[in-house]
Amino acid sequence: RTDGQAVTYRRLEGELSRSGMAWVATDKLAVLARMKDAEGKDVLHFLRTDGTIVASQTLPLPEHEHGDENMGELAIAPDGAHMVLAYGKDVFFMNRDGSVRRHWRGDEEQLMAQPKFAPNSKRIAMKLLKEEEDSYRRVTAIVFFTPAGEEVSRTVVPKTNLALIRPASPSTQPAEQDPNGPE
């Protein structure tokens, strides 16, 4: 928070996720952290915009994969009733109280990323990433779920050859040619 002159800084306990933040209300933010104790529990810290910690909630998650590069991605429904935590191959569809409704686990090649709730809180969209033989990991589909974790549909993202795609131009008019030709 800043007024242009001063900034509010708050150090939180635990190792924070870079993409595990979501607004809970206009003045309250949820931040996902992994505690550095032996158990390594995941915790949601709730803060007001003035830096005051409102609450911290330990999440009773089953065993799941996570590493230094995969600290979890958080989405909270606009109506506040549900949330989703994505740890790549492990996705947790949860009630707001932290209870797990469904644990989705992808196979070795699938990763789910960037959960986003629809404005009406009835659907969640996530990117499905897959490692391909001749390519790097890429988005292969957008998958839609209910808050309970049931897959509703998926839209395939076709593979494209980026070398064949022309950049967009601000004008559809051809560039004027120099009457003297190229230099």
pTM, two decimal places: 0.76
- pLDDT category at 35 given cuts 50, 70, 90 is confident
Residue position matching structure tokens 């986003």: 116
Burial 41-78 (b: 16+ CB within 10 A, else e): ebbbbbbeeeeeeeebeebebeebebeeebbbbbbbbe
Q: Which two tokens stand for residue 77?
A: 């429904």
How does strand 42-48 pair with strand 28-34?
Answer: antiparallel
Using the predicted structure, report yes or no on whether residue 92 has a pLDDT greater than 80: yes
Q: Is 89 or 137 the better-scoring residue by pLDDT?
A: 89
Within a 13 Å sphere around the CA of 138, how many CA atoms are in the beta-carbon half?
13
Using the predicted structure, report yes or no on whether residue 24 has a pLDDT greater than 90: no
| pLDDT one-digit tens code per residue, 4-19 | 787 777 777 777 777 7
Q: Can you tell me the distance from the alpha carbon of 158 to that of 139, in angstroms, rounded to the nearest whole number?
A: 9
Judged by DSSP in three states, 9 sits in coil
Residue position matching structure tokens 């008019």: 173
| Contact residues for 19 (Cβ-Cβ < 8 A; gap 6+) | 71, 72, 73, 74, 114
Q: Starting from the edge strand earliest in sequence, which strands make up the sheet with 73-76, in order?
A: 73-76, 82-87, 90-95, 100-105
Using the predicted structure, report yes or no on whether residue 177 has a pLDDT greater than 70: no
Residue position matching structure tokens 């974790």: 149
